[in-house]
Amino acid sequence: MADYRNLIGGKLVPAADGKTMNSVNPATGEVWTTIPASGPKDAEAAVAAAQEAFPHWSAMPALGRAYFLRKVSELFAQHAEELARLETRDNGRILRDTLKKDLPGMSHLWQLAAGQCLDAVKGDTVILGPDALGMTRREPYGVAVCIIPWNSPISTFSAKAAFALAAGNTVIVKPAEQASVSVLRLGELLAEVFPPGVLNIVSGMGEDVGDALVRHRGVGKISLTGSTVTGQAITRASADSLKPMTFELGGKSPNIVFPDADLEAAAQGITVNSIFTGNAGQVCVAGSRILIHRSIWDEVLERTQRIAESLILDEPLDLATTMGPIVSAGQYERVVSYLEVAEKEGAELVFGGRTGAEVVPHLPGGYWVSPTLYTTGDNGLRICQEEIFGPVAVAIPFDTDEEALAIANDSPYGLAAGLWTRDLGRAHRFIRDLRSGTVWVNTFRQMPPGLPFGGVKDSGYGHDSVLAYTREKAAIIQI
């Protein structure tokens, strides 16, 4: 087994107390390596290292920071296949996505962040009168803690760390305990890029090292991508120090199909591009509520089932595989429990519902759940209101635009929404009236780095960008 370590102060180190935790391959259920099980001492060391590095890094000219970020972009290009394979083995996200989509995209994202370093040092001037001038300047928060999820570790790492560093903050990344390996390996590579302490990576359980980080008064900013429950816990833990936070949390995104839509494109969009493929529904924006106009109900369900049944569930490292396993035993048990909930609630199973070795017999120890779709006329069911975070969707019929909008907004979440229509007026009305951070029209799950991405309601607030990692200071000058 490889010996993965934390990155603290430019050095690769084990947890302070020597504890480790297992990393499990979700396709087989087998332990394949270990990672540091860090605690409060490691959090303290990481904050101290980041604080020590902050004065020099924040004072560096923007173009100097851009130089380092471009080096990271080059590193991604050089190590793409290694990092992609590690991530796939660690969390089950299929290789055709980690290798063909995630890693090339991250190389571009670090280039984009490098180009935005100057935005972080720009301010405004206001003429207050003939003898007075007002001005603003942007300043980094100091130490930024970035807490990332297990479904797309490298992508989320980049979306947070790149912009935090571009803004002049020093950074501590806390990866999810279920999938830390790709980020820890990335730390080994980045130790040769950044000055010591500028970027730190500490793995471990959230209640141990994560809690210590968010409570630490030396931390100036927190950014989390994770569950709503985790966001609430971090808010409570950090209340004493009133840290500014950016939260991208859970979702129960509606995907709405109208009669005038390209139905084949819509069927692809509500299956392949929305919930089942890639991460097996383990994405916060998954279109897990499919709203279908009653006049096209049967046709859309038939097309959806045909596409879902054509998916290939197998070893995630095989480029022919189109859907992988659930990330961990705990998450697998959660998803399976919702199959039982759906049955008790009276939802009708259209297809799927198979689990474990029944899905992939030659990988009997893996955490497998087949693409699953239920139907119901009651949006109040638990499977309609609660985030399952797996390949389980529910279809709901509607008759009018007003009814579709009411069902779509009837959710505690508001991360994203999709609609499939050729009616431009309808599209603009729904963009205006849907209570969500992002609306996709005739597409789904596109998140280009040039646009903000965040939610409303229980899906969080704010978004990761260069300016989000700065605060404004005002100055008034009497001439």
Residue percentage of the chain with pLDDT more than 70: 100
Q: Is 248 a catalytic residue?
A: yes
Q: For residue 474, name the pLDDT band (cuts at 50, 70, 90).
A: very high
- The owner of tokens 């280039």 is 111
Mean pLDDT of 43-61: 98
Residue type, 69: L
Q: Tell me the C-alpha distance between 4 and 7, whole Å.
A: 10
Predicted pLDDT of residue 451: 86
Domain limits, the chain: 6-249+459-478, 254-448
- The owner of tokens 């994560």 is 210
Q: Same fold for the domain at 6-249+459-478 and the one at 254-448?
A: no
- β-pairing, 132-140 vs 125-129, is antiparallel
Among 87, 248, 315, 387, the active-site one is 248
Spatial CB neighbours of 2, under 8 Å, sequence gap ≥ 6: 33
Mean pLDDT of the chain: 96
Residue 475 and residue 227 in contact, taking contact as beta carbons nearer than 8 Å: no
Q: How many residues does the chain have?
A: 479
Q: Tell me the C-alpha distance between 28 and 18, whole Å.
A: 27
Q: Kindly state which CATH superfamily the domain 6-249+459-478 is placed in.
A: Aldehyde Dehydrogenase; Chain A, domain 1 (3.40.605.10)
Q: Tell me the C-alpha distance between 340 and 151, whole Å.
A: 24
pLDDT per position as a tens digit, 6-28: 999 999 999 999 999 999 999 99
Mean pLDDT of 183-198: 97
The pTM of the full predicted model, rounded to 2 decimals, is 0.95
99 by DSSP, 3-state: which? helix
Predicted pLDDT of residue 239: 86
Residue 116 and residue 166 in contact, taking contact as beta carbons nearer than 8 Å: yes
Predicted pLDDT of residue 1: 64
If one counts every other C-beta atom within 10 angstroms of the C-beta of residue 217, the result is: 10
Q: For residue 278, name the pLDDT band (cuts at 50, 70, 90).
A: low
Which of 91, 82, 80, 85 minimizes the C-alpha distance to 23?
Answer: 91
- CA dist 25 → 36, 345, 357 (Å): 17, 33, 15
Spatial CB neighbours of 406, under 8 Å, sequence gap ≥ 6: none
Q: Tell me the C-alpha distance between 263 and 268, whole Å.
A: 9
Lowest average pLDDT, out of 92-101, 122-131, 271-280, 348-357, goes to 271-280
Predicted pLDDT of residue 238: 87
Lowest average pLDDT, out of 5-9, 35-39, 167-171, 240-244, goes to 240-244
Residue 73 and residue 92 in contact, taking contact as beta carbons nearer than 8 Å: no
CATH topology of domain 254-448: Aldehyde Dehydrogenase; Chain A, domain 2 (3.40.309)
Which of residues 332 and 273 earns the better pLDDT score? 332
Q: Tell me the C-alpha distance between 94 and 89, whole Å.
A: 9
Which of 274, 283, 339, 347 minimizes the C-alpha distance to 307?
Answer: 274
Predicted pLDDT of residue 450: 75
Read off φ and ψ for residue 174, nearest 5 degrees: -115, 105
Which of 219, 248, 249, 224 minimizes the C-alpha distance to 234?
Answer: 224
- The owner of tokens 């955490």 is 367
